[in-house]
Amino acid sequence: MQHSSNLTVQEYLSRREAFINDERSLRREHARLLTLSDAETQADRVVRQIRAKEAQMIWSATNDGMQHMFPGMEFLMARDIIVKTKLFDILTKMPKGALLHGHLDAMVNTRTLLRLALEQPAIHIRIPNALTSSSIKTTLPQFGALPRGQWASSPSLTHAAYKSGEWVQIQKARETFDASLGGPEGFDNWVIGCLTINPAEAYVTHKTTDKIWEKFASIFRGLILYEPIWYPYIKEFFRTSVDDGISFIEARINFGYKCVFLLFSHAWPCQTMCNAEGHNVLPAREWVRAFGRAVEDVKREMKDQGREDAFLGAKIIYTTIRMYTPEELEWYLEECLTLKQEFPDLIAGFDLVGHEDSLHPLIYYLPQLLRFQERQKELGIDVPFIFHAGETLGDGTPADVNLYDAILLGTKRIGHGFSLAKHPRLMQICKERGILVEMCPISNEILRLTSSMPTHPLPIIVNHGVPVALCSDDPAIFGNMGLSFDYFQVLVSSEITGLTTLGQIARDSLEHSTLEGEAKAHALAVWEKRWQQFCKEVAALEP
């Protein structure tokens, strides 16, 4: 009896192994597991050992300020701990492939952006009322470049004589910032606080999706729409991305001139880009041209440093906000086509952005979007849709239903696709047609679609075999600069995911980029070489 029972246990165990393996084979890295190099195998093992050790030594700790620690915990509270881990240090060196989903407005560290702005005498700042120790917590500034003739000599933002909406030169505003509010350093902290989301906002005062979007939407634009800042800003973005192991970029740029800001309870028109003289006139083609110049310049820099392979270029996904009328959208679609004709190598796709739960769904613009595709045929050009869709907790809401329309309209990839896990057929289609999902785990967490990484749907999507890329979305606002933080949070939140999975994700980001033909083959070959080198270095580490 004992013997026959043992036999049954053996039979069971071999059936079990096959059963688990059969499901795991749906994952995209699975085929790869059979052909790993020794270095890859060993590197994956080292990373798992370090992860297990840090889960125990670092993420199980408790202290007064941080009662509930766990791997993949709330990013804004975990960040200072993450940067000290060995695992994070490893990931900063990993070649990440492409950054496929990042909004240009929020791609450079806020402190750096402020430094760039302080160098420009044309940049001004205004607020609704003079700042006091009580109003400073809730007062948001607006920034703008003014023509030389209008440069202001107004008093300090913190002076009782300050009048609502008066422009003050940013450098002067900083110098005259009242000592009781911290002086110049207090100015920096206040501005940076306005341009980022802090833990108290995400996890206490604004902890639902709708509320945190109010804060989030208040942050955008302003400082970078000035030609003398725009160009160095983009170069800074490229350089820091390269430093994080990103070798190719598709940046979403918002060409929404007509947007208005709801600030101080009344709407102010959003400026277009100002030229160096502070005139509100710089046309979109100049934005694109400067972007192209930054690409070439940083490529040249890298070549001069003997790091030619570190940066293979960048393109633009033309976006505008899903708040316009269909007629207004037509204007933007035409502008996008015009730009594509002038800059065929820079314009990579079209997208609509903004809070899906409250703004217009794709179906609202159906005739215009269909017409856009016809126009491309007429013009003999190709501008694929790369739509945001399903960035929502809804089940059957318009934002969730956007996923059907994105796919029916032939989207090349899906931005966010947070609710895709609810759609068995759509996941199957994404898999069959190779529609990659640009997942933004830290963005989703801070914008309160998930309370922390262990509850994020990414493992569902990955286990179904849908191709994904990891993306930072708006890192200047969230604090997840580069891609290392998003890779980190994903790696520590699953026992299945390992370094091999991350490698597949990086490879897929290039595979599903808008690179084509030889350029894509080159990018993949360069990445593979860097990857093997990286794995060798990790394999040699002490776990």
- One residue of 49, 56, 132, 205 binding a copy of itself per CB under 8 A: 205
Question: Taking CB under 8 A as the rule, does residue 423 contact a copy of itself?
Answer: yes
- Both tokens of residue 84? 């000290």
Q: Which is nearer to a copy of itself, 154 or 198 (CB)?
A: 198
Question: Taking CB under 8 A as the rule, does residue 326 contact a copy of itself?
Answer: no
| Other residues' Cβ atoms within 10 Å of the Cβ of residue 427 | 22
Q: How far is the CB of 337 from a copy of itself (least distance, A)?
A: 16
Question: Which own/partner pairs from 113-118 qualify as long-range (CB within 8 Å, at least 24 positions apart)?
Answer: 113/195, 113/223, 113/224, 113/229, 113/233, 113/476, 114/188, 114/191, 114/192, 114/195, 114/223, 116/223, 116/229, 116/232, 116/233, 116/236, 117/143, 117/170, 117/223, 117/229, 118/170, 118/171, 118/174
Binding piece for a copy of itself, criterion CB under 8 A, among 35-43, 288-296, 363-371, 474-482: 363-371
Q: Which residues pair with 353 in a beta bridge?
A: 321
Question: Taking CB under 8 A as the rule, does residue 404 contact a copy of itself?
Answer: yes
How far apart CA 132 and CA 391 sit, in angstroms, is 38
Binding piece for a copy of itself, criterion CB under 8 A, among 11-19, 75-83, 118-126, 129-137: 11-19
Question: Taking CB under 8 A as the rule, does residue 378 contact a copy of itself?
Answer: no
Token pair 């200072």 is found at 80
Q: How far is the CB of 468 from a copy of itself (least distance, A)?
A: 14
- One residue of 37, 208, 325, 341 binding a copy of itself per CB under 8 A: 208
Q: Which is nearer to a copy of itself, 52 or 260 (CB)?
A: 52
Question: Taking CB under 8 A as the rule, does residue 178 contact a copy of itself?
Answer: no
- Measured distance between the N- and C-terminal CA atoms of the chain, rounded to whole angstroms: 45
| Other residues' Cβ atoms within 10 Å of the Cβ of residue 72 | 23
DSSP string, 494-541: -SS--HHHHHHHHHHHHHTSS--HHHHHHHHHHHHHHHHHHHHHHHTS
Q: Which residues pair with 251 in a beta bridge?
A: 102, 316
How far apart CA 525 and CA 247 sit, in angstroms, is 12
Question: Taking CB under 8 A as the rule, does residue 64 contact a copy of itself?
Answer: no
Question: Taking CB under 8 A as the rule, does residue 65 contact a copy of itself?
Answer: no
Q: Which is nearer to a copy of itself, 240 or 397 (CB)?
A: 397
Task: Fill in the per-residue mask, 439 to 468: x = in contact with a copy of itself (CB under 8 A), - = not in contact.
Answer: ----------xxx--xx-x-xx--xxx---
- One residue of 393, 519, 524, 541 binding a copy of itself per CB under 8 A: 393
> 251 CB contacts (<8 Å, ≥6 apart)?
99, 102, 103, 104, 107, 237, 291, 314, 315, 316, 317
Strand, coil or helix: 48? helix
Q: How far is the CB of 535 from a copy of itself (least distance, A)?
A: 22
Question: Taking CB under 8 A as the rule, does residue 424 contact a copy of itself?
Answer: yes
- One residue of 109, 189, 397, 532 binding a copy of itself per CB under 8 A: 397
Question: Taking CB under 8 A as the rule, does residue 293 contact a copy of itself?
Answer: no
Q: Which residues bind a copy of itself (CB under 8 A)?
A: 5-6, 8-9, 12-13, 15-16, 19-20, 22-23, 26, 67-68, 70, 205, 207-208, 210-211, 363, 366-367, 370-371, 374, 393-397, 400-401, 404-405, 408, 421-426, 449-451, 454-455, 457, 459-460, 463-465, 493-497
